């Protein structure tokens, strides 16, 4: 018997990987996890008569010769299947398709296909495109939903060209965008909506090493399904850097941690390893047994303080030294100086580099229209200043720049200007982060957009 399996608590990307993999391995049987993410469960329910899945219990006593594993390479995340099959792990020929190159590989003898992309489904879709294999409309719809889900509708930083190429290919194969939209609706049950509002009322906000962190803790009697979808929805609404939701189930005496993350500098998989959990950088979970819920919560907060890498700060982004103009200089002098250095605005200083205001070309135009070009800069400069400090985090810088609709942000230290950040600096940083990621992947032997295979 040959089978295709994915990780436990199967999500849409895992499900999409499964259904596309059947086109590469047509004589293999798909096996679904006993635990399904709510949106994946919805897809399985909608297509249950069109897409044939086995249950792990169907493997009981079966001899398995070959196994394809998708969206993971860690044994603990596929252990539920090995609990039933009769064949020893070492005797099974394993092949893996996974887009988490940093995860521990529990199958050293396996052939591993790994590709840096937003969704694992995209990796398998690229292989179908190369072989000229076109999936049916049902499978294409599930796969497209998987790509949308795992890329955050193509907004996550790990999205690459291949994700868009495969999405287009799936649309050409008959994928239904209307059904994709239905599958991606996270909260459908009334209890989920109630839970969503309860969590919003329990959120705790903090800043840890420059990262905006939200946490919530809730004690309930029994376990409930669909918690992951609720946590994701809260995370989307709050728009913070990282969210840790803890649910303590009194009757079972265990605590579930569900985490979601937006930032490259934070690796949830690494953070939750010490709690016996797993997942990947952006989404992970852990279950802690035989420990009081408040103790788990306190342990997690201490853990975050030790493990979170400091966020990028203003000091790392700012340009320094800063070109400035004295407040006693005339508008004419300021205009000529700006033209010389090709700037559209200048910080205005008084005395020993003390920031006094900001002058823009618009301010100079006001003086020119009033025929006051010999008036001092201080008469026309803006005194309503928005500034940052050296340790202001990147997220706080974003808020300052865009909520105040300004193009220049002076960085001050005890009132003295020590640097300046422009929108161009911010955009350059965002673009450099993308280039750095590509460089790191290439150092690992992974060309972005191209799959590799390794033994």
- What is the domain-level CATH number for residue 402? 3.10.580.10
Looking at the fold, whether 181 and 203 belong to one and the same domain comes out as no
Q: What is the dihedral of CA 150, 239, 389, 429, to 10 degrees?
A: 30
In a domain, 447, yes or no: no
Q: In 3-state terms, what secondary structure has residue 175?
A: coil
**No. of helices (H) and no. of strands (E), the chain:** 16, 18
Choosing from 125, 160, 185, the residue where a domain stops is 185
β-bridge mates for residue 382, sequence order = 358
In a domain, 435, yes or no: no
Q: Domain of residue 367: give its range.
A: 315-428
Looking at the fold, whether 155 and 298 belong to one and the same domain comes out as no
In a domain, 448, yes or no: no
Residue 287 CA to residue 302 CA, distance in Å, equals 18
Residue keyed to tokens 């590989």: 105
Looking at the fold, whether 33 and 154 belong to one and the same domain comes out as yes
Q: What is the pLDDT along the chain (455 residues), one digit of tens a residue?
A: 999 999 988 889 999 999 999 999 999 999 999 888 777 888 888 888 788 899 999 999 999 999 999 999 989 889 999 999 999 888 999 999 998 877 778 898 999 999 889 999 999 999 999 999 999 999 999 999 999 988 888 988 788 999 999 999 999 999 999 889 888 876 666 777 788 888 888 999 988 888 889 999 999 888 877 788 888 888 988 878 899 999 999 888 899 999 998 887 788 888 888 888 877 788 888 899 888 899 999 999 888 888 887 778 899 889 888 999 999 999 999 999 999 998 888 999 997 779 999 999 999 999 999 999 999 999 999 998 899 999 898 888 888 888 888 888 999 998 899 999 988 888 888 776 555 555 544 544 444 443 333 22
Looking at the fold, whether 107 and 153 belong to one and the same domain comes out as yes
Looking at the fold, whether 170 and 43 belong to one and the same domain comes out as yes
Residues 6+ apart with CB under 8 A from 131: 24
Looking at the fold, whether 342 and 383 belong to one and the same domain comes out as yes
Residue 242 CA to residue 240 CA, distance in Å, equals 6
Looking at the fold, whether 231 and 287 belong to one and the same domain comes out as yes
Looking at the fold, whether 130 and 67 belong to one and the same domain comes out as yes
Looking at the fold, whether 118 and 199 belong to one and the same domain comes out as no
Q: Are 296 and 248 in contact (CB under 8 A)?
A: yes
**DSSP 8-state secondary structure symbol assigned to residue 204:** E
Total number of domains in the chain: 3
Choosing from 272, 307, 342, the residue where a domain stops is 307
Q: Are 162 and 113 in contact (CB under 8 A)?
A: no
Q: Is the peptide bond before 321 cis (omega within 30 degrees of 0)?
A: yes
Choosing from 307, 336, 358, the residue where a domain stops is 307
In a domain, 444, yes or no: no
In a domain, 109, yes or no: yes
Looking at the fold, whether 275 and 300 belong to one and the same domain comes out as yes
Looking at the fold, whether 99 and 45 belong to one and the same domain comes out as yes
Residue keyed to tokens 């709510």: 38
Residue 437 tokens, joined: 């990621």
């Amino acid at each position: 018997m040959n089978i295709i399996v994915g990780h436990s608590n199967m999500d849409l990307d895992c499900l999409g990987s499964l259904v596309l993999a059947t086109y590469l391995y047509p004589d293999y049987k798909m096996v679904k996890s006993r635990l399904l993410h709510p949106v994946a469960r919805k897809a399985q329910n909608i297509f249950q008569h069109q897409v044939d899945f086995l249950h792990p219990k169907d493997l009981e006593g079966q001899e398995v010769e070959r196994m394809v594993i998708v969206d993971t390479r860690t044994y603990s995340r596929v252990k539920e299947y090995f609990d039933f099959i009769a064949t020893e792990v070492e005797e099974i020929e394993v092949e893996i398709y996974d887009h988490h190159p940093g995860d521990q590989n529990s199958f050293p003898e396996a052939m591993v296909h790994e590709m840096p992309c937003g969704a694992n489904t995209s990796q398998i879709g690229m292989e179908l495109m190369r072989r000229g294999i076109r999936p049916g409309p049902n499978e294409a719809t599930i796969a497209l939903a998987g790509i949308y889900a795992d890329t955050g509708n193509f907004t996550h930083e790990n999205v690459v060209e291949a994700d868009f190429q495969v999405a287009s290919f799936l649309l050409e194969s008959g994928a239904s965008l209307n059904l994709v939209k239905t599958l991606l609706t996270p909260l459908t049950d009334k209890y989920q909506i109630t839970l969503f509002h309860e969590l919003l009322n329990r959120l705790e906000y903090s800043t840890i090493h420059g990262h905006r962190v939200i946490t919530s803790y809730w004690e309930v009697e029994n376990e409930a399904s669909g918690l992951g979808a609720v946590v994701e929805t809260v995370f989307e609404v709050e728009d913070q850097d990282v969210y840790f939701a803890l649910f303590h189930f009194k009757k079972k005496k265990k605590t579930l941690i569900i985490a979601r993350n937006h930032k490259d500098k934070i690796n949830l998989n690494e953070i939750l390893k010490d709690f016996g959990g797993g997942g990947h950088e952006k989404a992970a979970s852990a279950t802690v047994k035989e420990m009081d819920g408040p103790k788990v919560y306190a342990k997690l907060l201490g853990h975050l303080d030790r493990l979170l890498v400091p966020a990028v700060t203003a000091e790392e982004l700012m340009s320094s030294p800063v070109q400035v103009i004295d407040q006693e200089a005339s508008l004419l002098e300021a205009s000529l100086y700006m033209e010389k250095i090709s700037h559209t605005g200048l910080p205005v200083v008084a005395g020993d580099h003390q920031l006094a205001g900001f002058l823009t070309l618009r301010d100079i135009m006001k003086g020119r229209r009033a025929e006051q070009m010999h008036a001092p800069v201080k008469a026309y400069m803006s005194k309503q200043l928005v500034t940052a400090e050296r340790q202001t985090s990147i997220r706080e810088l974003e808020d300052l720049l865009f909520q105040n609709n300004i193009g220049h942000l002076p960085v001050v230290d005890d009132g003295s200007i020590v640097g300046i950040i422009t929108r161009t600096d911010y955009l350059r940083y965002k673009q450099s982060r993308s280039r750095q990621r590509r460089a790191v992947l290439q150092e690992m032997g992974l060309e972005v957009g191209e799959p590799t295979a390794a033994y």
